[in-house]
Chains A and B, each alone.
Chain A
Amino acid sequence: MEKIIVCIKPVPDPLAWDRLAMDPVTKTLIREGIPSVINPLDKQALEAALEIKDACGAEVVLLAMAPVSTRPVLRQALAMGADRAVLLSDHWFAGSDTLATSRILATAIERLAPFDLICCGNFTLDGSTAQVPSQVAELLGIPNIMHVSAMEFRPPGPLLVTQKIEPGLVILEAEFPLLLSFTKEANKPRYSSFLEILAAETREIAVWTNAYLQLGAGLIGLGGSPTQMADLLIRRKVRQGLRLEGSPEEIARLLADKISQLGIV
């Protein structure tokens, strides 16, 4: 095992979602002033990569497409144990939809080649499309296993991947190179130890712009995006009381109907 690439997406901190707004023209999220965190499932992807690194050694490279201001998020991921990071940051990338984003990521991965494995979170907290991992794999011409809920790799044995699907679990034997996208059940991400936090301070975060990737304007950013967000609505939870009246029997029946109607039982 030589190199594992882990795609990391800095996403708006859920604790600050009430302050999120959308640019009325570009229909993209206004991220200024909103703190970023590692997309939660990306931690599972990173943990999986680090477990392989611990077991048989490999260079773990982080790859993110985000504004330069999100460097602390990559530093945190480096402090989990990754070796170096590449931050794809350019105003030409702004407004990219999942296809344009996948083109940018896939091109960067080609620059990082050769690689054995790409690890991604199954979806991101902000977009939740779950399209990027498969698109990246397609563009690179490698297989992609989604919904990975467990992984086992003990060289010289094969890579065993458990895929969670609706009716149950599928256990797959896979060959490198491939792309895996992980679910929450896959593992328990490690904490950044204080020693690793200190060590991460000297690990490289390289910033690549489109000048290095050389992608045409029609392939990236808003111009390269066949889809655009039409609107963004924040879901607000409201507590609501319901008063049931009648005899005890009637109230019990109404309550049972309500519980059934809500799908609780």
Chain B
Amino acid sequence: MDFKLSEREELLRKSAREFAESEITPKIDAMEATGDFALDLLKPMAKLGITGIIAPREYEGVGLGYMARTIVLEEMARVCAAVSMAMQVHHMAIAALNDFGTEAQKKKYLPPLARGETMGCVAITEPSGGSDILGMQSTAALKGDTWILNGRKCFITNSHTSDFWLVLARTGEGPKGLTAFMVDKNAPGAKTGRVEHKFGLRGSNTGELVFDNCELPRESIVGQEGGGLGVALKTVSESGRTGMAAVALGILQSCYEESAKFANERVLYGKPISFLQAISFAVAEIYTELDMCRLLCYRASWMKDQNMRFDTESAMAKSYTCDAAANCAKKAIEIHGAYGIMQEYKVQRLLRDAMVTISAGGTGQIGKVVIGRAALAPFQKKG
């Protein structure tokens, strides 16, 4: 078993870190204040290879795997989780198109996504809920050669910053009655709705998509008609959960760094507070959680790169890391004392951001349903 990262992975980390620290940091205050994603980051991120990291070379991507993506998302989230969140969803759209799209769809949509000309967006959640995917109420009906889409999607990351959306809608009854569509934002009857104002991940755009007799060409289907559940589950489980886990991992890394730095600098009773066991134990706990989560996240991504089934492992990585990020951000705030709740200190942002990761990209509880199923299966009585 080799836990060492390759030279390539170390270089990717270094490059992503340098970029994030130099280019993303100056944008954070404005994103926090306005709640808008810094769209001018797209071009430089594309130049580096972030936007197209998992897109195949033939569609102008970099053609790297999920391990590379996790490292890059982690490094961006270490600096600003909101930008990392926006990119992880962008990658979800790329993954769905690459896994299920026709050659024509790949040629049309993947290059602009890889070049960072627009952002990717996957729209599953509705006002009726996101976890209950079969309870979806948006519908699409075929009239002649045109699909007529009706419904409303909510809490959609990159909703207002994307030129086309991957949308799931009901085309029939039951689990085989869901279908995925590519929807151009200028399609007749398609429009964006309200923009949400979140308390965390503020720089990642979240909002509504509204479809009022939206007309889509017949070839808008991604995958098979009735195959939408498979598109959604694979995309959420593979790129969604590993991506969210990577975002939370970056937050955790930042919790550790901020806590260790502060504990070594802040002097009380004549010496740094790191000499107090109450503080050093808290830092030790954060450090341990960070290491555990990194192993979970890297294993899940590595399994994807090995073409192994990893739905349980991605659920473990996602649900555990997002919880750990929130718990450790709380600890980091406690280590900072009153400074921790001040806007000027990063740790308060870390807690706000970490809380958003828990319900995003498949809730932690749904993750535990997946894990529980796998954990119980070997001991279930047959028949």
Contact = CB atoms under 8 A, between A and B. Distances in A.
> 7 nearest interchain CB pairs?
A194-B49, A192-B15, A194-B62, A197-B11, A191-B19, A193-B49, A193-B48
A248 B68 CA distance: 60
A198 B62 contact: yes
A194 B7 contact: no
Contacts of A197: 8, 11-12, 15
Interface of B: 7-8, 10-12, 14-15, 18-19, 47-50, 53, 62, 64, 68, 72, 267
A233 interface: no
Nearest to A71: B7
Nearest to A239: B267
A211 interface: no
A201 B50 CA distance: 19
Contacts of B64: 194, 198
A4 B48 CA distance: 25
A24 interface: no
Given A191-B48, A193-B47, A193-B49, A79 B15 contact: yes
A118 to B, nearest CB: 25
16 contacts: A76-B14, A191-B15, A191-B18, A192-B11, A192-B15, A193-B47, A193-B49, A194-B62, A194-B68, A194-B72, A195-B49, A197-B11, A197-B12, A197-B15, A198-B64, A239-B267
A75 B14 CA distance: 12
A226 interface: no
Contacts of A200: 11
A141 interface: no
A158 interface: no
A72 B7 contact: yes
A79 to B, nearest CB: 6
Nearest to B63: A198
Q: Main SS of the interface on chain A?
A: helix
A24 B10 CA distance: 33
Contacts of B47: 193
Contacts, number: 43
Contacts of A239: 267
Contacts of A76: 11, 14
B8 A201 contact: yes
Contacts of B72: 194
A193 B64 CA distance: 12
A198 B64 CA distance: 9
A79 B62 contact: no
Interface in A157-216: 191-195, 197-198, 200-201
Contact of A75 (B11, B19, B68, B267): B11
Instruction: Give the interface centre of B19, B49, B72, B267 by most chain A CB atoms within 10 Å.
Output: B49
B12 A194 contact: yes
B59 to A, nearest CB: 14
B269 to A, nearest CB: 15
A10 to B, nearest CB: 13
A79 B49 CA distance: 13
Nearest to A35: B10
A198 B11 CA distance: 10
A76 B12 CA distance: 9
Contacts of A198: 8, 62, 64
A238 B15 CA distance: 32
Nearest to A37: B14
Given A72-B11, A193-B49, A197-B8, 5 more contacts: A76-B11, A76-B14, A194-B53, A195-B49, A197-B15
Contacts of B12: 194, 197
Contact of B7 (A75, A192, A193, A195): A75
Nearest to B18: A191
Contacts of B15: 79, 191-194, 197
A195 B11 contact: no
A201 B7 CA distance: 9
Nearest to A43: B18
Contacts of B19: 191
Contacts of B8: 197-198, 201
Contacts of A79: 11, 15
Contacts of A193: 15, 47-49
Contacts of A191: 15, 18-19, 48
B349 to A, nearest CB: 23
B76 to A, nearest CB: 13
A75 B10 CA distance: 11
A197 B50 CA distance: 13
Contacts of A201: 7-8
Contacts of B49: 193-195
A75 B48 CA distance: 17
A193 B68 CA distance: 13
A79 B314 CA distance: 31
A191 B47 CA distance: 9
> Which of A76, A191, A192, A195 has the largest number of chain B CB atoms within 10 A?
A191
